[in-house]
Amino acid sequence: MSVVNFIPLTASDLTQADEAAVLAAIATSAWQDESLLQRWEEMWQHCWQRPAVVFASADQLMAALATALGWQAGDWLAADGLLEPPWRQACEALWLRLGWLDIDPTTGISPVVLPEVYDRKPRAWLRCHSFGQIAPLPPPSLCHATIEICSAIPTPIDGCGQADFQIIGCDGNQAITAGAACVLLGHDDALMQQIRCLRPAIANTLSCAMGLSRLRQWPLLARRRAELAQRYLESLRPYGLFELPLPTTEQPRVWLRFVLSWHDAADRLALQQFLSRAGISTDLPLWYRVPQHSHLPGMQQFLQRALALPLFASLAEQQQKRIINRIHRWINRRIRV
Protein backbone atom coordinates (compact mmCIF):
# COMPACT_ATOMS: atom_id res chain seq x y z
CA MET A 1 0.00 0.00 0.00
CA SER A 2 1.42 3.37 -1.01
CA VAL A 3 1.02 6.59 0.92
CA VAL A 4 -0.73 8.06 -2.14
CA ASN A 5 -3.53 5.47 -1.94
CA PHE A 6 -4.09 5.80 1.80
CA ILE A 7 -7.44 7.37 2.73
CA PRO A 8 -7.53 8.89 6.25
CA LEU A 9 -10.61 8.96 8.43
CA THR A 10 -10.51 12.75 8.75
CA ALA A 11 -8.56 15.66 7.29
CA SER A 12 -8.16 19.28 8.31
CA ASP A 13 -9.27 20.64 4.90
CA LEU A 14 -7.04 23.68 5.32
CA THR A 15 -7.22 26.05 2.36
CA GLN A 16 -5.04 28.71 0.77
CA ALA A 17 -7.30 31.28 2.41
CA ASP A 18 -6.46 29.79 5.82
CA GLU A 19 -2.75 29.93 5.05
CA ALA A 20 -3.00 33.54 3.91
CA ALA A 21 -4.94 34.52 7.05
CA VAL A 22 -2.37 32.93 9.36
CA LEU A 23 0.60 34.42 7.50
CA ALA A 24 -0.99 37.86 7.68
CA ALA A 25 -1.49 37.44 11.43
CA ILE A 26 2.13 36.36 11.90
CA ALA A 27 3.31 39.40 9.93
CA THR A 28 1.68 41.75 12.47
CA SER A 29 3.95 40.39 15.25
CA ALA A 30 1.10 41.09 17.69
CA TRP A 31 0.21 38.37 20.20
CA GLN A 32 -3.31 39.77 20.58
CA ASP A 33 -5.41 41.87 18.22
CA GLU A 34 -8.64 43.24 19.69
CA SER A 35 -9.95 44.48 16.33
CA LEU A 36 -9.50 41.03 14.79
CA LEU A 37 -11.20 39.44 17.80
CA GLN A 38 -14.10 41.88 17.45
CA ARG A 39 -14.53 40.98 13.76
CA TRP A 40 -14.63 37.28 14.63
CA GLU A 41 -17.18 37.84 17.41
CA GLU A 42 -19.29 39.99 15.08
CA MET A 43 -19.35 37.19 12.52
CA TRP A 44 -20.53 34.71 15.17
CA GLN A 45 -23.16 37.21 16.27
CA HIS A 46 -24.32 37.70 12.67
CA CYS A 47 -24.58 33.93 12.11
CA TRP A 48 -26.56 33.24 15.27
CA GLN A 49 -28.35 36.59 15.73
CA ARG A 50 -27.35 36.81 19.41
CA PRO A 51 -24.40 38.08 21.48
CA ALA A 52 -21.17 36.12 21.17
CA VAL A 53 -18.09 36.08 23.40
CA VAL A 54 -14.88 34.34 22.28
CA PHE A 55 -12.71 32.83 25.02
CA ALA A 56 -9.10 31.72 24.86
CA SER A 57 -9.90 28.30 26.39
CA ALA A 58 -12.69 26.06 27.64
CA ASP A 59 -11.51 26.57 31.24
CA GLN A 60 -11.97 30.33 30.98
CA LEU A 61 -15.37 30.01 29.37
CA MET A 62 -16.76 27.62 31.98
CA ALA A 63 -15.31 29.65 34.86
CA ALA A 64 -16.99 32.83 33.59
CA LEU A 65 -20.29 31.04 32.97
CA ALA A 66 -20.23 29.41 36.41
CA THR A 67 -19.60 32.77 38.11
CA ALA A 68 -22.36 34.51 36.16
CA LEU A 69 -24.88 31.75 36.91
CA GLY A 70 -23.89 31.34 40.55
CA TRP A 71 -22.66 27.76 40.36
CA GLN A 72 -20.82 26.55 43.45
CA ALA A 73 -18.31 23.76 44.03
CA GLY A 74 -20.27 20.55 44.51
CA ASP A 75 -23.18 21.58 42.29
CA TRP A 76 -24.02 18.99 39.70
CA LEU A 77 -24.67 19.25 35.99
CA ALA A 78 -26.35 16.68 33.77
CA ALA A 79 -23.91 15.72 31.01
CA ASP A 80 -24.61 13.79 27.83
CA GLY A 81 -22.46 10.68 27.61
CA LEU A 82 -20.38 11.95 24.66
CA LEU A 83 -19.42 15.27 26.27
CA GLU A 84 -15.92 16.09 25.02
CA PRO A 85 -12.85 16.37 27.29
CA PRO A 86 -12.36 20.18 27.26
CA TRP A 87 -15.79 20.74 28.83
CA ARG A 88 -15.51 17.75 31.13
CA GLN A 89 -12.12 18.89 32.44
CA ALA A 90 -13.25 22.52 32.77
CA CYS A 91 -16.17 21.42 34.97
CA GLU A 92 -13.98 19.18 37.08
CA ALA A 93 -11.49 22.03 37.59
CA LEU A 94 -14.36 24.03 39.12
CA TRP A 95 -15.32 21.06 41.35
CA LEU A 96 -18.64 20.71 39.57
CA ARG A 97 -20.07 17.21 39.61
CA LEU A 98 -21.11 15.66 36.29
CA GLY A 99 -24.03 13.26 36.20
CA TRP A 100 -23.40 11.10 33.15
CA LEU A 101 -26.41 10.19 31.01
CA ASP A 102 -26.56 7.12 28.82
CA ILE A 103 -26.77 7.37 25.03
CA ASP A 104 -28.76 5.72 22.29
CA PRO A 105 -26.55 2.86 21.03
CA THR A 106 -27.35 3.66 17.40
CA THR A 107 -27.17 7.47 17.22
CA GLY A 108 -25.01 8.36 20.22
CA ILE A 109 -27.59 10.93 21.39
CA SER A 110 -28.63 10.91 25.05
CA PRO A 111 -32.38 10.63 25.68
CA VAL A 112 -34.10 13.48 27.53
CA VAL A 113 -34.46 11.48 30.74
CA LEU A 114 -32.75 11.93 34.10
CA PRO A 115 -31.95 8.66 35.92
CA GLU A 116 -33.76 8.16 39.23
CA VAL A 117 -30.43 8.24 41.07
CA TYR A 118 -30.32 12.02 40.56
CA ASP A 119 -32.70 13.35 43.19
CA ARG A 120 -32.04 17.06 42.61
CA LYS A 121 -32.61 19.27 39.61
CA PRO A 122 -29.21 19.91 37.95
CA ARG A 123 -27.92 23.45 37.71
CA ALA A 124 -27.56 22.92 33.96
CA TRP A 125 -27.83 20.26 31.29
CA LEU A 126 -24.91 20.03 28.84
CA ARG A 127 -26.59 18.81 25.65
CA CYS A 128 -24.33 17.53 22.87
CA HIS A 129 -25.22 17.64 19.16
CA SER A 130 -22.88 14.71 18.57
CA PHE A 131 -21.51 14.27 15.03
CA GLY A 132 -23.81 17.06 13.80
CA GLN A 133 -27.08 15.41 14.87
CA ILE A 134 -29.78 17.43 16.64
CA ALA A 135 -30.24 16.48 20.29
CA PRO A 136 -33.70 17.51 21.59
CA LEU A 137 -33.62 19.86 24.56
CA PRO A 138 -34.92 18.86 28.00
CA PRO A 139 -37.97 20.71 29.33
CA PRO A 140 -37.37 23.51 31.90
CA SER A 141 -38.81 21.28 34.62
CA LEU A 142 -35.74 19.01 34.45
CA CYS A 143 -32.95 21.58 34.89
CA HIS A 144 -32.24 25.20 35.76
CA ALA A 145 -30.44 26.02 32.50
CA THR A 146 -29.83 24.38 29.14
CA ILE A 147 -26.50 24.55 27.31
CA GLU A 148 -26.02 23.21 23.79
CA ILE A 149 -22.57 22.03 22.77
CA CYS A 150 -22.68 23.08 19.10
CA SER A 151 -19.08 22.38 18.08
CA ALA A 152 -20.34 20.04 15.34
CA ILE A 153 -22.98 22.58 14.20
CA PRO A 154 -21.12 25.91 14.09
CA THR A 155 -23.89 27.72 12.22
CA PRO A 156 -27.59 27.35 13.11
CA ILE A 157 -29.92 24.82 11.53
CA ASP A 158 -33.52 23.87 12.37
CA GLY A 159 -33.75 22.45 15.89
CA CYS A 160 -30.49 24.00 17.08
CA GLY A 161 -29.98 27.20 19.06
CA GLN A 162 -33.02 27.10 21.35
CA ALA A 163 -31.15 26.54 24.63
CA ASP A 164 -30.20 29.29 27.07
CA PHE A 165 -26.59 29.12 25.84
CA GLN A 166 -24.65 27.65 22.94
CA ILE A 167 -21.00 26.65 23.24
CA ILE A 168 -18.78 26.05 20.21
CA GLY A 169 -15.35 24.53 20.66
CA CYS A 170 -12.71 25.36 18.04
CA ASP A 171 -9.92 22.91 18.80
CA GLY A 172 -8.32 20.81 16.06
CA ASN A 173 -11.02 18.11 16.19
CA GLN A 174 -13.94 20.45 15.47
CA ALA A 175 -15.71 21.89 12.45
CA ILE A 176 -14.10 25.30 13.07
CA THR A 177 -10.44 25.00 14.06
CA ALA A 178 -8.83 27.90 15.92
CA GLY A 179 -6.34 26.63 18.47
CA ALA A 180 -7.90 26.28 21.91
CA ALA A 181 -10.40 29.11 21.40
CA CYS A 182 -14.10 28.62 21.98
CA VAL A 183 -17.29 30.65 21.71
CA LEU A 184 -20.21 31.27 24.06
CA LEU A 185 -23.52 32.52 22.66
CA GLY A 186 -26.58 33.53 24.68
CA HIS A 187 -29.94 35.27 24.36
CA ASP A 188 -29.66 37.66 27.32
CA ASP A 189 -27.70 40.78 26.32
CA ALA A 190 -27.09 41.96 29.90
CA LEU A 191 -25.95 38.54 31.11
CA MET A 192 -23.63 38.12 28.13
CA GLN A 193 -22.08 41.51 28.80
CA GLN A 194 -21.50 40.44 32.41
CA ILE A 195 -19.82 37.26 31.16
CA ARG A 196 -17.66 39.29 28.78
CA CYS A 197 -16.41 41.33 31.74
CA LEU A 198 -15.42 38.08 33.49
CA ARG A 199 -13.14 37.05 30.63
CA PRO A 200 -9.57 37.05 32.03
CA ALA A 201 -7.77 37.23 28.68
CA ILE A 202 -8.59 37.34 24.98
CA ALA A 203 -7.75 34.72 22.37
CA ASN A 204 -4.45 35.19 20.56
CA THR A 205 -4.11 36.67 17.08
CA LEU A 206 -3.43 33.37 15.30
CA SER A 207 -6.54 31.74 16.81
CA CYS A 208 -8.72 34.69 15.78
CA ALA A 209 -7.28 34.83 12.26
CA MET A 210 -7.69 31.10 11.71
CA GLY A 211 -11.14 31.00 13.26
CA LEU A 212 -12.40 33.93 11.20
CA SER A 213 -11.10 32.34 7.99
CA ARG A 214 -12.63 28.94 8.79
CA LEU A 215 -16.00 30.39 9.72
CA ARG A 216 -16.16 32.32 6.43
CA GLN A 217 -15.57 29.10 4.49
CA TRP A 218 -17.75 26.81 6.59
CA PRO A 219 -20.92 26.99 4.38
CA LEU A 220 -18.94 25.73 1.37
CA LEU A 221 -17.18 23.00 3.38
CA ALA A 222 -20.48 21.92 4.95
CA ARG A 223 -22.15 21.62 1.55
CA ARG A 224 -19.31 19.47 0.28
CA ARG A 225 -19.59 17.19 3.31
CA ALA A 226 -23.34 16.92 2.73
CA GLU A 227 -22.76 15.88 -0.89
CA LEU A 228 -20.38 13.13 0.20
CA ALA A 229 -22.78 11.92 2.91
CA GLN A 230 -25.63 11.79 0.39
CA ARG A 231 -23.51 9.64 -1.92
CA TYR A 232 -22.86 7.21 0.93
CA LEU A 233 -26.59 7.11 1.72
CA GLU A 234 -27.55 6.48 -1.90
CA SER A 235 -24.84 3.93 -2.63
CA LEU A 236 -24.41 1.76 0.45
CA ARG A 237 -26.61 -1.33 0.80
CA PRO A 238 -26.77 -2.59 4.41
CA TYR A 239 -28.31 -6.05 3.71
CA GLY A 240 -29.49 -6.12 7.32
CA LEU A 241 -25.94 -5.92 8.68
CA PHE A 242 -25.90 -2.28 9.79
CA GLU A 243 -28.00 0.86 10.08
CA LEU A 244 -27.34 3.96 8.00
CA PRO A 245 -27.70 7.40 9.62
CA LEU A 246 -30.96 9.23 9.00
CA PRO A 247 -30.88 11.41 5.87
CA THR A 248 -31.32 15.17 6.19
CA THR A 249 -34.77 14.85 4.59
CA GLU A 250 -35.92 13.20 7.83
CA GLN A 251 -33.85 15.20 10.32
CA PRO A 252 -31.79 18.38 9.79
CA ARG A 253 -28.14 17.84 10.61
CA VAL A 254 -24.54 18.68 9.75
CA TRP A 255 -22.32 15.88 8.46
CA LEU A 256 -19.28 16.09 10.71
CA ARG A 257 -19.08 12.28 10.79
CA PHE A 258 -20.73 9.47 8.80
CA VAL A 259 -21.37 6.62 11.24
CA LEU A 260 -22.62 3.10 10.52
CA SER A 261 -24.24 1.25 13.42
CA TRP A 262 -23.52 -2.47 13.18
CA HIS A 263 -25.81 -5.16 14.57
CA ASP A 264 -22.86 -7.50 15.23
CA ALA A 265 -19.63 -6.21 16.74
CA ALA A 266 -17.70 -9.04 15.03
CA ASP A 267 -18.90 -7.85 11.61
CA ARG A 268 -17.89 -4.30 12.47
CA LEU A 269 -14.38 -5.39 13.38
CA ALA A 270 -14.07 -7.66 10.33
CA LEU A 271 -15.01 -4.84 7.94
CA GLN A 272 -12.66 -2.42 9.68
CA GLN A 273 -9.77 -4.85 9.24
CA PHE A 274 -10.75 -5.52 5.61
CA LEU A 275 -10.76 -1.79 4.80
CA SER A 276 -7.52 -1.23 6.70
CA ARG A 277 -5.71 -3.75 4.49
CA ALA A 278 -6.74 -1.60 1.51
CA GLY A 279 -5.41 1.59 3.13
CA ILE A 280 -8.83 2.92 4.16
CA SER A 281 -8.98 4.27 7.70
CA THR A 282 -12.13 3.72 9.78
CA ASP A 283 -12.69 3.86 13.52
CA LEU A 284 -15.01 4.94 16.28
CA PRO A 285 -16.31 8.47 15.59
CA LEU A 286 -14.56 9.67 18.77
CA TRP A 287 -11.11 11.12 19.35
CA TYR A 288 -11.30 10.72 23.14
CA ARG A 289 -12.18 8.28 25.90
CA VAL A 290 -15.71 8.29 27.24
CA PRO A 291 -17.12 7.19 30.62
CA GLN A 292 -17.91 3.48 30.71
CA HIS A 293 -19.97 2.83 33.82
CA SER A 294 -22.30 -0.05 34.55
CA HIS A 295 -25.31 2.31 34.39
CA LEU A 296 -24.43 3.26 30.78
CA PRO A 297 -25.29 0.12 28.76
CA GLY A 298 -26.13 2.20 25.69
CA MET A 299 -22.61 3.64 25.74
CA GLN A 300 -21.07 0.17 25.83
CA GLN A 301 -23.21 -0.96 22.88
CA PHE A 302 -22.37 2.19 20.93
CA LEU A 303 -18.63 1.58 21.35
CA GLN A 304 -19.09 -1.94 19.98
CA ARG A 305 -21.37 -0.97 17.07
CA ALA A 306 -20.24 2.40 15.71
CA LEU A 307 -17.88 2.66 12.75
CA ALA A 308 -17.14 6.01 11.11
CA LEU A 309 -16.26 6.15 7.41
CA PRO A 310 -13.92 8.76 5.89
CA LEU A 311 -15.74 12.06 5.50
CA PHE A 312 -14.03 15.39 4.85
CA ALA A 313 -14.43 18.10 2.24
CA SER A 314 -11.26 17.20 0.30
CA LEU A 315 -12.26 13.52 -0.08
CA ALA A 316 -12.15 12.90 -3.83
CA GLU A 317 -15.00 11.21 -5.69
CA GLN A 318 -12.72 8.36 -6.80
CA GLN A 319 -11.59 7.82 -3.23
CA GLN A 320 -15.17 7.59 -2.01
CA LYS A 321 -16.06 5.17 -4.80
CA ARG A 322 -13.15 2.97 -3.71
CA ILE A 323 -14.46 3.00 -0.13
CA ILE A 324 -17.99 2.09 -1.21
CA ASN A 325 -16.82 -0.65 -3.59
CA ARG A 326 -14.60 -2.15 -0.92
CA ILE A 327 -17.47 -2.22 1.59
CA HIS A 328 -19.74 -3.93 -0.95
CA ARG A 329 -17.02 -6.47 -1.76
CA TRP A 330 -16.84 -7.40 1.95
CA ILE A 331 -20.64 -7.53 2.24
CA ASN A 332 -20.92 -9.86 -0.77
CA ARG A 333 -18.46 -12.24 0.85
CA ARG A 334 -20.24 -11.97 4.20
CA ILE A 335 -23.76 -12.76 2.93
CA ARG A 336 -22.49 -15.82 1.03
CA VAL A 337 -21.17 -17.38 4.24
The model's pLDDT over 229-261, given as tens digits with 9 standing for 90+, comes to: 999 999 999 999 999 998 878 889 999 999 999
DSSP symbol at 112: S
Final residue of a structural domain among 214, 234, 256 = 214
Kindly state whether residue 10 falls inside one of the protein's structural domains: no
DSSP state for residue 241 in the 8-state scheme: S
292 and 148 fall within a common domain: no
239 and 157 in a single domain? The answer is no
- The answer to whether position 6 is within a domain reads no
The arithmetic mean of pLDDT across residues 48-59, rounded, is: 98
Q: Are residues 123 and 221 in the same domain?
A: no
Query: Which helix (H) or strand (E) covers residue 167, if one does?
Result: strand 165-169
**Domain check: are 191 and 266 in the same one?**
no
154: which DSSP letter?
Answer: -
CATH of the domain at 305: 3.90.1150.10
Q: Which domain holds residue 296?
A: 217-336
**Where do runs of H (alpha helix) occur along the chain?**
16-28, 34-48, 58-69, 85-93, 189-197, 205-235, 265-277, 297-305, 317-336
Indicate the pTM of the whole model: 0.94
- State the Cα–Cα distance between residues 251 and 31, nearest whole angstrom: 42
Say what the pLDDT of residue 113 is: 82
Q: Is residue 221 part of a domain?
A: yes
The pLDDT of residue 16 is above 90: yes
Angle between helices 58-69 and 85-93 (to 10 degrees): 50
pLDDT band for position 2 (cuts 50, 70, 90): low
Q: What is the DSSP letter of 137?
A: P
How many CA atoms lie within 13 Å of 18's alpha carbon, on the beta-carbon side?
15
Query: What pLDDT is recorded for position 337?
Result: 60
Residue 296 is predicted with a pLDDT of 87
Supply the pLDDT for residue 73: 96
Q: Given this model, what pLDDT does residue 202 score?
A: 96
Count of structural domains within the chain: 2
50, 198: one domain: yes
pLDDT band, residue 292 (cuts 50/70/90): confident
Last residue of a domain, one of 185, 214, 243: 214
Residue 127 has pLDDT above 90, yes or no: yes
Q: Of 188, 214, 240, which marks where a domain is finished?
A: 214
pLDDT at 163 over 90: yes
In angstroms, rounded to a whole number, what is the distance separating the alpha carbons of residues 261 and 213?
A: 34
Same domain flag for 77 and 203: yes
301 burial via Cβ count (<10 Å: 0-12, 13-18, 19+): middle
Poorest-pLDDT segment among 20-29, 152-161, 217-226, 293-302: 293-302
Same structural domain for residues 175 and 259? no
